[in-house]
Structure formats: C-alpha cells, structure tokens
Amino acid sequence: MNSQHIFRDFDKAIDALKGEVITMASLARQNLERAMRSLLERDIDLARTVIADDSDVDDLERKIDQAGMDILVRFHPMASDLRLVITSMKMAHNLERISDHAVTIAKRSKKICKSSPLEEASLAEPLYSMADSILRDALTAYTDSNAELGESLKARDKELDQLHKQMISSLSARLEDSNGRAENLLHLIFVARSIERIGDLAVNMGEDAVFLGEARDIRHDHRKPSSQKPTLLG
Amino acid sequence: MTSAIQIQNVSFAYNTKQVLHDVSMDIPAHQITAFIGPSGCGKSTLLRCFNRINDRIPGARITAGSIKVHDIDINRSDIDLQELRRQIGMVFQKYNPFAKSIYENVAFSLRVAGQNKRATLDEIVENALKSAALWDEVKDRLHASAFGLSGGQQQRLCIARAIANQPEILLMDEPCAALDPLATLKIEELLMELKKKYTIVIVTHNMAQATRCSDKTAFMYLGKLIEFGPTMQLFENPKDPQTEAYVTGTFG
C-alpha cells in the first residue's frame, strides 16, 4: 500500500513484518542455493552450513507468527491490511518448508559427496534453476502484491513437474545398470523430489499473493467447476 | 430477503446545509444493519430520518426522495408520528431512563397509551425486561429507582422501554459509546437475540462492533452512501477505495 496509516505505529509494525518475511525468504533461497552448490561442487562443508543455518529460518517463522499475532491483537487490521498479515504468516510457513527441503538436499548431498563423483548430479541443475525462478517470482508477487504474476506460476510449475518426471525416468533407467551407484542415484531422486516440492510451495505462495492483491482465493481451482466467492481462510 | 425500510434517493438539509445526498438503500428485515463513517458523515441524520425525530429541529427536512416502511412514505403529512415512533423505537448513545422506578420506566409509554390494567402491565414489563436480558438482575427491585442501576443496566432498561411498545424496528445511535467493554459485549449479545424479533439499525464508531454484530454495513462519507454490503465483505474486501481507506485507517 502506498497510503499511510493515521496511526503510524501500524505502518511500522506492517513494514517490520514484511521486512522479516523478505529476510526469511532471502535466507531460505540462500540455503537452497548453497545446498545445490554443495551437490554440484561436491562441497560437504557447504552442506553442513545449510543444515546449521536452517534454525535461523525456523526462528524467523516463529518471529513472524508472533509479529502477525501482535498486529491482529493490537491494530485489528481490516481489508488489505488483514490480508497482508494473514498472507505474511502463510509465507513464513511455506518458506520454512522450503528451507527444510534445502536441508534434505544438503543431507543427500553429503552422502553423495562421500562416494566417487556422480555425473548424473548435473541433471538436477536445470530443475533447480526453474524452481528457483518460480520461487523468486513468488516472492516478487508477494512484495508487490502482484496477483497477475502470482497466478502465472501454476503454469510454470507444470513445466517443472514435466522436467522432474523426465529426470526421474532417466535416473530410474540408470538404476537398473548402476554398478554400485544405486544408493547415490536414489539420493539424487530424493533431491529431485525436494526441488519439485519447492516448486509446489512457490505456487502456494503465488496463490497467496493473488489473495493479497485481489482478495481472490484461487487455491484448488482445478477442482472447482466455476469461480467461487472469495473466502478469507478457506 | 424482505426489506424493512426502503430508502430511495434521499437528500436531506438543515436549512440550506445539505447533509445527505441521494442516498438509496434497503434495510433488510430481521437483520442488524450498521452505519459507519467519520463524524459528520450523515449516518445519525439518516437514522433519525427513520422515525422523523429530525422533525423537531427547525429547518431540518428531506429535500428529495422517500423513505418507505410497509410501502408507506413515512414523510407523508398524514402520518401519525406517535404510532410511527411506537413502530420504530430508538435507543440513544447516553442512556436516559426517566426519574422513575425500573418498572415505571418500562410501563411509561403503555400508560401514556391508556393501558392501566395491572396484570397486563406486569406481563409486558416482565417480558420486555426478559427480552432485554435484565429481568434476572432487577426482578427483586422493580420499584427501586432506575438511577440505581449500572450504566450497562440503564442502557438495557432503555432497550426494554423501547421494546415494551412492541416495535418492528429498533434504531440505535451508538448505544455502547458510554459503556465499558463488558457492558458493551452484553448489549451486543442482546442484539443477536433481538434481531430474531426486530429489525435493528445501529450507528457505531466502533468498527470491531460492526464486524461482530452486524449482517450488513453501510459506509457513509460526506453525506453520501459510499458502499453498502455484507459486513464481512465490506471489512475484508471493500470495493470502494474510500471504504478501504476508512476501514484500514489510511490516508494519502
């Protein structure tokens, strides 16, 4: 919102809440980027850093939930303010799960790094690039209340799902003739699954940005024959 | 949904000062409709048009449009004002019981209307006090002064006084503005019961109260009706930027 609140403490509280979400998003993305780099560059220390830093993301989730509750109690937000508080708390929840997936990737990476180099690891790179691009736009949709951008992410996630399927079938085919690399290939399949899940979580955030910007609830729209009345929490 | 009051293109002036501009809305029956908006926006003036108590102010008049109850324009010159105000009761911001006993406060208008039969009065007073959720608190001191009651009890007594007349519509002009939070909640709880029998229109500056109690909310600004819709929609997703600015408390 460009307009200011008459009660300026409300502006400060809202700005602080948004700031915390943006900080959390940066940390979650950084954790994901480091987890992938540890896999692709075979860097075990980087994987350990990701696992250690996840607690910072967890702390931020708690902090954002508390700040959101404080705003609800103190300022009784209405309309777009109310949607911003609710969306911010949901963003925090999704970001925490994304960071958990980064930890999963880091743990698998550590195991893969302990064996001889796995050339198939590079298959995960384009998958990651696509997921991270969706994630980046989900965050922009939130910060700019850009419903159009938020709504566009679902289609891109379908492309990600397609790429994920191709990668899984390629890895599965190699499993049959893996020459002792089966365990690492399985680790890589789980890495791919985590990246695919990150795409889903980014889509959730895009849907929340649509609610934030236009008060429309587009979740589970594929199951609805027609558009329904917007609801606050569904 | 039937409407209890139909307001069509109403404009209103105090002498030359136009304070309502072309207001149209249907107040739904057996629901609570809240009027919100900044001071001076015309919400109390509009409320006071519904039982014509603005008539008492020299120079105050509806300059255009009509207000209909049961399809009758209440501004017709042949309207029986006493009957209109019996059908459309009113409760004010500052509770204003008469300097009489609790019982006589509720019985007063009935006596004025010629009802003096003790058994009938007893029954109506008891029912009105029960409907106003006050009976249990006062049944043992019905003949004590109304001024001995707490603020919240005095306001509920005023509600009992209004409903003793068996009105169809209850107008409430900031009925909780002078009450503490718990007394306010008691009145709000009472409103939820009363709407089963009566149509309620409430002017309030307390937006949380509007969200808690009302089914529909009207936002007024500078004498105009800006937005009128289901309360939850108006507070969660207002259509008009002026409503959005008001409910979020923003400017610029």
Out of B207, B232, B244, the one facing A80 most closely (by C-beta) is B244
pLDDT of residue A221: 82
Question: Which tokens is A56 given?
Answer: 């910072």
**Both tokens of residue B45?**
């003036």
Cβ-based contacts of B245 with chain A (< 8 Å)? 3
Any CB–CB contact under 8 A between B237 and chain A?
A: yes
Among the residue ranges A177-181, B33-37, B203-207, the one predicted with the least confidence is: A177-181
When pLDDT is averaged across residues B136-163 and rounded to a whole number, the result is 96
Instruction: Write down the residue that tokens 């963003």 correspond to.
Output: A91
A188 against B1, higher pLDDT: A188
For A232, residues 6+ apart whose C-beta sits below 8 A from its C-beta are A82, A86, B232, B236
* A chain contacts of residue B235, beta-carbon cutoff 8 Å: 78-79, 82
3-state SS assignment for residue A52 = helix
Distance of residue B52 Cα from the nearest chain A Cα, in angstroms: 34
Q: Indicate the helix (H) or strand (E) that contains B225.
A: strand B224-230
Min Cα distance B79 → chain A (Å) is: 42
Q: What percent of chain B has pLDDT over 90?
A: 96
* Mean pLDDT estimate for chain B: 95
User: Quick one: pLDDT at residue B53?
Assistant: 94
Q: How far apart are CA A161 and CA A196, in angstroms?
A: 6
Please report the pLDDT score of residue A148 as a whole number: 97
CA distance B30 to chain A (A): 24
Element counts in chain A: helices (H) and strands (E): 6, 1
Which of A212-226, B39-53, B112-126 shows the lowest mean pLDDT across its residues?
Answer: A212-226
Q: Is B38 on the interface with A (CB under 8 A)?
A: no
pLDDT recorded at residue A109:
97
d(CA A80, CA B240): 12
* pTM > 0.95: no
Nearest CA in chain B to A83: B236
Higher-pLDDT residue of A53, A220: A53
Is residue B241 less than 8 Å (CB to CB) from chain A? no
pLDDT bucket at B252, cuts 50 / 70 / 90 = low
Residues of B in contact with A4 (CB under 8 A): 250-252
Q: What is the pLDDT of residue A224?
A: 57
Query: Residue B135: exposed, middle, or buried by beta-carbon count in 10 A (0-12, 13-18, 19+)?
Result: middle
Residues 6+ away with beta carbon under 8 Å from A70: A13
Mean pLDDT over A27-32 rounds to 98
Query: Does residue A143 have a pLDDT over 80?
Result: yes
Q: What is the pLDDT of residues A91-139, one digit of tens each?
A: 999 999 999 999 999 999 999 999 989 999 999 999 999 999 999 999 9
Q: Which of B40, B41, B47, B53 is nearest to B25 (CA)?
A: B47
pLDDT of residue A2: 61
Q: What does the pLDDT read at residue B1?
A: 76
Range A21-59 burial, b when 16+ CB lie within 10 A, else e = beebbebbbbbbebbbbbbeebbeebbebbbebbeebee
What's the pLDDT tens digit per position in B55-101? Answer: 999 999 999 999 999 999 999 999 999 999 999 999 999 999 999 99
Greatest Cα pair distance, chain A, in angstroms, is 69
| CA B99 – CA B158 distance, rounded (Å) | 12
CA B72, B74, B80: angle at the middle one, nearest 5?
105
Q: How many helices and strands in chain B, by DSSP H and E?
A: 10, 11
State the pLDDT at residue A3: 81
CB contact under 8 A, B207 and A78: yes
Pairing of strands B216-221, B224-230: antiparallel
Q: Does A8 reach chain B within 8 Å, measured CB to CB?
A: no
Domain count within chain B:
1
> Domain of B221: which CATH number?
3.40.50.300
pLDDT by residue (tens digit) across B179-201? 899 989 999 999 999 999 999 99
State the sign of the Cα–Cα–Cα–Cα dihedral A33, A34, A38, A43. positive
pLDDT tier at B251 (50, 70, 90 boundaries)? confident
Three-state secondary-structure class, residue B138: helix
Q: Do residue B249 and residue A1 have CB atoms under 8 angstroms apart?
A: no
Our CA-based measurement puts residue A199 at a distance from the nearest CA of chain B, in whole angstroms, of 29
CA B123 to chain centre: 25
Mean pLDDT of A1-8: 80
What pLDDT score was predicted for residue B47? 98
What CA–CA distance (Å, rounded) separates A164 from A134? 14
As a whole number of angstroms, the distance between CA B13 and CA B22 comes to 12
pLDDT of residue A226: 47
Q: Which domain holds residue B51?
A: 3-248
pLDDT attached to residue A232? 47
Contacts of B183 (CB under 8 A, 6+ apart): B150, B151, B152, B155, B176
What is the Cα–Cα distance from A230 to B2, expressed in whole angstroms?
A: 25
A223 confidence band (pLDDT: 50, 70, 90):
low
Q: Is A167 in contact with A194 (CB distance < 8 Å)? A: no
Chain B environment of A76 (Cβ under 8 Å):
207-208
d(CA B226, CA A64): 35
Dump the DSSP string for B3-49.
Answer: EEEEEEEEEEEETTEEEEEEEEEEEETTSEEEEE-STTSSHHHHHHH
Q: How far apart are CA A79 and CA A89, in angstroms?
A: 16
Q: Are A13 and A74 in contact (CB under 8 A)?
A: yes
Q: What is the mean pLDDT of residues A30-43?
A: 97
Reported in sequence order, the residue ranges of B30-186 that DSSP labels E, i.e. its strands, are: 32-36, 60-69, 72-73, 88-91, 169-173
Domains present along chain A, CATH in parentheses? 8-223 (1.20.58.220)
pLDDT at B43 over 80: yes
- Average pLDDT score, chain A: 93
CA A61 vs CA A88, A97, A223: distances in Å: 10, 10, 30
Closest residue by Cα to residue A81 from A68, A94, A66, A62: A68
Is residue B8 classed exposed, middle or buried when 0-12, 13-18 and 19+ CB atoms within 10 A define those classes? middle
Beta strands in B42-189 (DSSP E): 60-69, 72-73, 88-91, 169-173
Interacting residues of A149 by C-beta distance below 8 A, sequence separation 6+: A137, A140, A141, A206, A209
A150-181: pLDDT as tens digits: 999 999 999 999 999 999 999 999 988 878 88
